[in-house]
Amino acid sequence: MIDSSKPAISWWELRAIQALNLEDIEHPDLIVLDKDEQVVLISNIKGFPFDLNKSKTREKAIIELIEYLKAAKTVIPFAMIVDLEKILFFQWNGNDLSEPILCLETNEVLIHYEPEFNKRQIFNLYLKTLTEAWISDFCYHWKMETPPRSQEIAEIGLLERLEGGITQS
C-alpha cells in the first residue's frame, strides 16, 4: 500500500540516487560462478603499482572482500586475494572470513600462462587477466587438462565447484 502522506520521489530524483549509488559500489576483480550459476568465488587482485606496500595492500584487499561478502545476498563459500607474490584462498561462512586455507606462490602458478612472469613488470590489469585465465582453466580446460595446483585446489573443496563454471571480471 502506498503512503500518500509522504511526498513521492520523482523519476529524475530516483535516477540521480541510482547513479550516485552505482558510482559508490565497488566490485570484486573476479567473480566465479559454478555450473548452476551460483557464485562460488570472488577475488581481489592487486598488481603493480598497487602492490608497493604489500602488507597494507593485503589488509585493504581483505577488508574489501569482507565488505563484498557481507553485501552478497547468498553465502559465497570462497574468496581469493592475488598479488605478485601470493595467491591466498579463504573460506566464508556467512559471518566470518577464515584465515588463509591455501597459500600459493603467484609466479609458480601464472608462469604457465605468461612464461616471462618472473622477468617483467606485471601491471594490475595484466595480473587480473592472467588470474582469470588460470581460474577459467579449472572451469573449462581451455589451455590445460590439469591446471597448475589442481591438487591443492581440490583439497580445499573448490575444484569440483569450478568444473563447468564461468568467470566474470
DSSP state letters, 102-121: EEEEHHHHHTTT-TTTTTS-
- Locate 163 and state its grid cell: 568444473
pTM over 0.75: yes
Kindly indicate the confidence band of residue 11, based on its pLDDT and cuts at 50, 70 and 90: very low
Residue 104: the pLDDT is: 98
The partner residues of 102 in beta bridges, in order of sequence, read: 89
The answer to whether position 118 is within a domain reads yes
- Locate 3 and state its grid cell: 503512503
Residue 23: the pLDDT is: 45
The answer to whether position 117 is within a domain reads yes
Q: What is the pLDDT of residues 55-93, one digit of tens each?
A: 777 888 889 999 999 998 889 999 999 999 999 999 999
Cα separations (Å) of 53 from 57, 58, 83, 121, 131? Answer: 6, 9, 11, 16, 21
The answer to whether position 11 is within a domain reads no
Its domain, for residue 100, covers 27-168
The answer to whether position 16 is within a domain reads no
Residue keyed to cell 575444484: 159
Residue 1 has pLDDT above 50, yes or no: no
- If one counts the domains in the chain, the total is 1
Q: Report the distance separating Cα 111 and Cα 18, nearest Å.
A: 42
Residue 15: the pLDDT is: 47
Q: Which residues contact 97 (CB under 8 A, 6 or more apart)?
A: 62, 65, 66, 69, 79, 90, 91
Q: What is the mean pLDDT of residues 139-143?
A: 94
Kindly indicate the confidence band of residue 150, based on its pLDDT and cuts at 50, 70 and 90: very high
Residue 60: the pLDDT is: 86
The answer to whether position 91 is within a domain reads yes
Q: Report the distance separating Cα 98 and Cα 91, nearest Å.
A: 5
The answer to whether position 21 is within a domain reads no
Residue 38: the pLDDT is: 94
Q: What is the pLDDT of residues 35-53, one digit of tens each?
A: 999 999 999 998 875 655 6
The answer to whether position 104 is within a domain reads yes
Q: What is the pLDDT of residues 90-139, one digit of tens each?
A: 999 999 999 999 999 999 999 999 999 999 999 999 999 999 999 999 99
Longest CA span, the chain: 67
Q: Report the distance separating Cα 80 and Cα 118, nearest Å.
A: 21
